[in-house]
Structure 1
């Protein structure tokens, strides 16, 4: 009963002890309390009850009862870090038990071996237990044994065997009332999905398991560990750190299992390293190593040592000693049959290369490269990274490019299983090293054309296909509606100066629910076989100059495309350009308010400095025609119209050259429908919207109560032109919750992703609508990048705060140009020129950018 209805079992056991039971019955009751405390409470209390249960079983002179208690006690001692005592208790249980009871003890000893990382011993014990349990038709324990055997198979990379055992166990669990075991089975299926590379399904199953555990009131620390592993694989390492640290806090608070604490420390260390925090990773990994060593868990200790070495290397501590340490870890992991062994060999080879030890590097990298031909996607990525480094060490530029191509193809296939644009964007981080190696090889051994191809290969890949449309999930739609209502109420309360802690908590809860459901979406789009073609790009430019900025070794490389050729120029350092761009943003914020005119020359000087850093000598080679700028993700906040050579010309920005080509070739909708939306609370009241309504004759006008999210989305779908005057809010912490304020609350990026086709051209006349979050290798998340893959060919939006009143004449002039047949970029250029020459209006014009190609 303790795994069917845990809290009821605990109450019943306490009731038994209060009724003056016999030693035999008291032994059972103490064992139930001990198991409950062992798995979900205080380990010290657990050991006290289990020892009492063992003593009472001896008094009852029941060898079978004593064997069963010894097995539960042995598992508890192992979880408490007392490995020798635990294994001794389990050995004694095997000796005391017979037949059916002995098979159950063998299962528990197999479980203890799995906890300790002794996988061969675990498989042997469970192999001996299963036939006996089947013979006596013990369905529950057979299902437990199959689940454990599947979990051990996964630990050593035998995914197919694990799938077979999980399937058999699930069929058995369906016939029982063991609710906690059923939840554990769902969790295990999630683990299997993750090991086979299906992250959305893994996240969905883990969320389902968590709901089941919550109903039982029993936390599962193993679930936290497994979910952290999936979050890391999905590129959400910072979230994994937070989740692991929170779980450690809960575990410490209840005095829980020290084995689980060590495992949580290990996963926290891995996550911190991936999140770019090597100091935290070193501290967590070093503590995990000490705990695992004390618990006599060499399999786990070796994995912790791998993370410790990786973190030290990330902190800049490359040395010959670390090469030897990494090689020793790789050898030990290989002896365990651990899937992480190639990762350790790659690490040893990488450190050796950094020290110039080419022979040692080749030896280790050759071992790591073997994994490129089989196994899950990330293991094959490790192998191709090792192969690329081998080729670079041998001076083979062609070999580097081939290995990088094959490795990125593997990751492309993996990313197509991800439906959520956030997961697809963040997953690109795993290919960043391969992309950088290929670009470096292109720079050294190829011409500008080849560098352009590889610059495009791993840039803005999320925009290559629309995200999988969220299903018509009533729960998701309900959460979105509730989120809007709560957010609107919270905003109203804040404007009245009232505290809103309860509303803030509910809003955060709903955000978690929406995001969680979105991450469950599985990808449906096949891999994009339409590779970037330089010749096709040059043919379509037709008098346009496309400027793609690549970054190699921290320096900006300018690839100037036009007149049938690609030329390369070297500009400044990316880090200096990023700092200057932040200074410009601060200057534009000041200029958005009256009275800051004196800062205008300073901001213009910053624009000249940015041009030197970002365009260098290419600025003098732009010609006189239109320019398309393709910046890296980290430069998305640059107001490009401020640069002197771009200030008075037709200028548009695109996340990639491929994205610009797709926008250029996007067919407009058959009807010329215009939609004008005016949200609440603008200082200008969205004054341009009524004038635009008169100018367009009979557009769809949504304002006041008509500007509610469901109606706005319905009208935007498939429109030829949309103009939205609404307050924009950018969420750096969660960019897909960036929003435009409507009458009933925020219209968020998740809402836009529900459109069948976003407007062909869209103008967002408010603050921060072009602000984006740079994630993954070179990806951007935000309003603009949500629209481009959904059918939008051109967007006008602002990358800085703007003065609402000054926006009105800019927008009216912009639409005047559009009505004469100009593109967005052409109309925006003319609109800037038509503005008054004061600092306020100049800053407003610079803050807006045309994205796309029409």
Structure 2
């Protein structure tokens, strides 16, 4: 905010016009035009022209803005108001800098030469802002320091706050994050004391920026939400907050959320006829989000419009960044071309002077374009330039390691390539330690996808099954192996979850009617509130992923065998490992064909399970096709009776019992070999509590729970209206065995809102994350309870994922909706066997025991064992 208020010499009748130019620009412009039309005195006209110049500058109308500032200077001269003339000249100089005119800084310094005291301090703030615009951060710090020296203790709290804010911006640009945060905190206090609510919100936004800079994304989101709340109370639109929020969400790899925020802000800016300067920034943010989410066509459209606007506004720094996104998206959609390489090379050269921090990314793009176009020498030259940089930012450093890895791969230096991949992935581990929300942690793993692909592709090329296993594990489920965050119970989150359950319950009772629409709006509001609070959860500090020790893995496998499925550039590979044989690698086929076969199988199983009285389907040939698509020749390498499967994120919900060669084997599924090992090493609970939960609206009522209560006479039984969320969570905490017979829902749009239906409403994944100790084993006799949403590189979000992340050793869950009556006999048999058998074996034998009952067998085929 370079022009937030007039100098003390402003006439009282227009004293608030400059502040209004920043908070409500259209009103300010209309008021300025009206005042000028009335032919007021020169002093008032000077402020009116200056206010009009500020508005037009922020709207991107630079030529008109410069005319208004020149008129303001002439009026100030006629009024013989030297202080006003200096103030206007400083604002004029900022506009010249924004328009790309080299004499802008000279105009600001000319103004500073004739000003003294606090007036000079205000001009030094303008100078600091202009120096920041041109990237002269050390000079900016000196100007901001002079502003602080001149304004601190002056009694002019707003301008003192602005001085500290600009010094903080300089510190942040120079990498002194702690100093920046301290100055922003002081700025926040000064604006609060002065009652400057809009600038107080700006200071909160700036504190979010410093939290983002030190990698604390949850804190950044908290500050930004607090800033948004203030501007909402004021009824103003501050697109800078949306731009900052998009940056934070992108850093957390929540690209779809970032795109939604950016597009909504662009639409609002157009509706309110807001600043063209800010709209261009929002379009750029939307382009970044679209690119990160894989929507390259949208990224091309948004970035092309942003480039056009930035160039019109003569903002080279912003134009360079937007063009980098544009060229990268065009490469993704259209492939390499000589014209695209020439454009990228020109851009890399331009960025050397306007934005050096983005040069490694530009050189990496040039290198890849050249290699894709067959220009190896040129590609190597660009990659070396990208690899030579040593930036501080985590993501920029990852770019550098990626450039080194690609270069080493091109030059056939596999050892260096793997070392670079390892260093880049280590950075991701550090980053994950700052993230508390499950969603942030899972999505952040996508940052290293390119690094992992290079290492995995090398393992495939060399036919090294051991290396493929190790590198797939190095990357797989990274967020799962970082120590989970434990936080205190948050009253606000607990309250919002309770309110959400109440609304959901009312919607179940009255899904239509006059009040249903209102309830659905309230449901969406509460869901957003829950998700927002969860995103604010702090991380536990830096952690490291658990490294796979293959020797220990062999020992723990014993007589079992391990199958690890990995997607390498769209092709599925299987590695089979046993305790006494070398690992073998098998090329299965295209991933898309596997996913089609799985979708067809789930459809058939779903149809069979939900129509128990209809004509039965022959699932045998469907299972044969799925087996061929999913395992290929790897199935011939399986000889053990017990098999552990580590699938990709998109292949977790597989009904393994339908595969003919696995139908009579004990199959367990794990997110990664490392998490399976952790479960095997966990202490077994022999005599802990058993909890039996029966939810509402089951066609069999509480029959399943009552039968199980006869087997477990000392169990905690919650059914017939007593299965409320708080009671269930309290009972589950640290229990030995929990059985939940309830309807389940999976939310593909927001997987952490997937839930188990209890008497007071849905028990969501967010609720499960409040457990102090996860139960040792869990049986979810619920529809779709094993289904999750792939996220990040190879993560899975859902009910089962939450339980296993927080310590559950084994979970039984379904991959499709199940028939309630047909499930009862299978569940009773399963619990009989759980007393003295591993989870996978108990599930297999229980399935065999109900083989003669077609409906029960279909229900049994729908369940899988996860963990052990």
**Structure 2 length normalisation: TM-score?**
0.89
Q: What's 1:778 paired with? A: 794
Aligned ranges 1:199-238 → 2 under 5 Å? 199-238=217-256
2:480 corresponds to 1:460:
no
Q: What's 1:436 paired with? A: 453
Asked whether the equivalents of residues 105 and 130 of structure 2 are also in contact (C-alpha less than 8 Å), the reply is no
Q: What's 2:719 paired with? A: 703
Q: What's 2:10 paired with? A: none
Task: Say if 1:328 and 1:150 are closer, same or farther in 2 by CA, change over 3 A.
Answer: farther
Q: What's 1:531 paired with? A: 547
Task: Say if 1:488 and 1:179 are closer, same or farther in 2 by CA, change over 3 A.
Answer: same
Larger CA deviation: 196-205 vs 324-333: 324-333
Q: Displacement of 1:674 after TM fit?
A: 0.8
| In 2, Cα distance between equivalents of 1:253 and 1:78 | 28
Q: Displacement of 1:468 after TM fit?
A: 1.2
Task: Say if 1:286 and 1:555 are closer, same or farther in 2 by CA, change over 3 A.
Answer: same
Deviations 1:505-544 (A, max 9, x none): 2222222222112112222165236421111111111111
2:516 corresponds to 1:506:
no
Aligned ranges 1:383-398 → 2 under 5 Å? 383-398=400-415
Q: What's 2:216 paired with? A: 198
| In 2, Cα distance between equivalents of 1:146 and 1:701 | 61
Q: Displacement of 1:769 after TM fit?
A: 0.5
Q: What's 1:822 paired with? A: 837
Aligned ranges 1:51-200 → 2 under 5 Å? 60-69=79-88, 94=111, 98-99=115-116, 100-108=118-126, 110-111=128-129, 114=132, 126=144, 129-133=147-151, 138-152=156-170, 154-155=172-173, 159=177, 162-163=180-181, 165-166=183-184, 169-170=187-188, 172-173=190-191, 176-200=194-218
Task: Say if 1:158 and 1:301 are closer, same or farther in 2 by CA, change over 3 A.
Answer: farther
Asked whether the equivalents of residues 597 and 839 of structure 1 are also in contact (C-alpha less than 8 Å), the reply is no
| In 2, Cα distance between equivalents of 1:606 and 1:828 | 21
Asked whether the equivalents of residues 4 and 180 of structure 1 are also in contact (C-alpha less than 8 Å), the reply is no
Q: Displacement of 1:159 after TM fit?
A: 4.3
Q: Displacement of 1:40 after TM fit?
A: 10
Asked whether the equivalents of residues 588 and 630 of structure 2 are also in contact (C-alpha less than 8 Å), the reply is yes
Q: Displacement of 1:628 after TM fit?
A: 1.1
Q: What is the aligned counterpart of 1:292 among 292, 310, 313?
A: 310
Q: Which of the pair has the greater relative contact order for Cα pairs under 8 Å at 6+ separation?
A: 1
- 1:705 aligned counterpart, secondary structure: coil
Asked whether the equivalents of residues 680 and 726 of structure 1 are also in contact (C-alpha less than 8 Å), the reply is yes
Asked whether the equivalents of residues 660 and 852 of structure 1 are also in contact (C-alpha less than 8 Å), the reply is yes
Q: What's 1:353 paired with? A: 371
Task: Say if 1:93 and 1:579 are closer, same or farther in 2 by CA, change over 3 A.
Answer: farther
Asked whether the equivalents of residues 74 and 85 of structure 1 are also in contact (C-alpha less than 8 Å), the reply is no
- Where in structure 2 are there 5+ consecutive unaligned residues? 6-15
| In 2, Cα distance between equivalents of 1:708 and 1:32 | 63
Asked whether the equivalents of residues 150 and 161 of structure 1 are also in contact (C-alpha less than 8 Å), the reply is yes
| In 2, Cα distance between equivalents of 1:619 and 1:92 | 77
Q: Displacement of 1:216 after TM fit?
A: 2.6
Task: Say if 1:86 and 1:646 are closer, same or farther in 2 by CA, change over 3 A.
Answer: farther
Larger CA deviation: 60-69 vs 27-36: 27-36
Asked whether the equivalents of residues 66 and 93 of structure 1 are also in contact (C-alpha less than 8 Å), the reply is no
Q: What is the aligned counterpart of 2:781 among 743, 747, 765?
A: 765
Larger CA deviation: 347-356 vs 577-586: 347-356
Task: Say if 1:594 and 1:166 are closer, same or farther in 2 by CA, change over 3 A.
Answer: closer
Asked whether the equivalents of residues 67 and 92 of structure 1 are also in contact (C-alpha less than 8 Å), the reply is no
| In 1, Cα distance between equivalents of 2:262 and 2:96 | 21
Q: Displacement of 1:330 after TM fit?
A: 2.4
- 2:566 aligned counterpart, secondary structure: strand
- 2:697 aligned counterpart, secondary structure: coil
Q: What's 2:586 paired with? A: 569
- 1:741 aligned counterpart, secondary structure: strand
Asked whether the equivalents of residues 709 and 744 of structure 1 are also in contact (C-alpha less than 8 Å), the reply is yes
Deviations 1:805-825 (A, max 9, x none): 211122122112224x12222
**Structure 1 length normalisation: TM-score?**
0.91
- 2:721 aligned counterpart, secondary structure: helix
Task: Say if 1:700 and 1:32 are closer, same or farther in 2 by CA, change over 3 A.
Answer: farther
Q: What's 1:380 paired with? A: 397
2:280 corresponds to 1:262:
yes
Asked whether the equivalents of residues 46 and 71 of structure 2 are also in contact (C-alpha less than 8 Å), the reply is no
| In 1, Cα distance between equivalents of 2:533 and 2:621 | 47
- 2:385 aligned counterpart, secondary structure: helix
Q: Displacement of 1:322 after TM fit?
A: 2.5
Q: Displacement of 1:319 after TM fit?
A: 2.0
| In 2, Cα distance between equivalents of 1:178 and 1:446 | 65
Asked whether the equivalents of residues 133 and 141 of structure 1 are also in contact (C-alpha less than 8 Å), the reply is yes
Larger CA deviation: 91-100 vs 241-250: 91-100
Q: What is the aligned counterpart of 2:499 among 474, 482, 502?
A: 482
Q: What is the aligned counterpart of 1:403 among 420, 424, 427?
A: 420
Q: What is the aligned counterpart of 1:344 among 362, 370, 395?
A: 362
Q: Displacement of 1:72 after TM fit?
A: 5.4
| In 2, Cα distance between equivalents of 1:599 and 1:60 | 94
Q: Displacement of 1:444 after TM fit?
A: 3.2
2:334 corresponds to 1:324:
no
Aligned ranges 1:740-751 → 2 under 5 Å? 740-751=756-767
Q: Displacement of 1:172 after TM fit?
A: 4.9
Aligned ranges 1:615-630 → 2 under 5 Å? 615-630=631-646
| In 1, Cα distance between equivalents of 2:351 and 2:644 | 50
Asked whether the equivalents of residues 4 and 177 of structure 1 are also in contact (C-alpha less than 8 Å), the reply is no
| In 2, Cα distance between equivalents of 1:278 and 1:187 | 29
Q: What is the aligned counterpart of 1:831 among 831, 838, 846?
A: 846
Q: What's 1:849 paired with? A: 864
Task: Say if 1:840 and 1:155 are closer, same or farther in 2 by CA, change over 3 A.
Answer: farther
Task: Say if 1:69 and 1:240 are closer, same or farther in 2 by CA, change over 3 A.
Answer: same
| In 1, Cα distance between equivalents of 2:407 and 2:23 | 57
- 1:651 aligned counterpart, secondary structure: strand
| In 1, Cα distance between equivalents of 2:640 and 2:561 | 9
Deviations 1:524-571 (A, max 9, x none): 165236421111111111111111112223222111111423122221
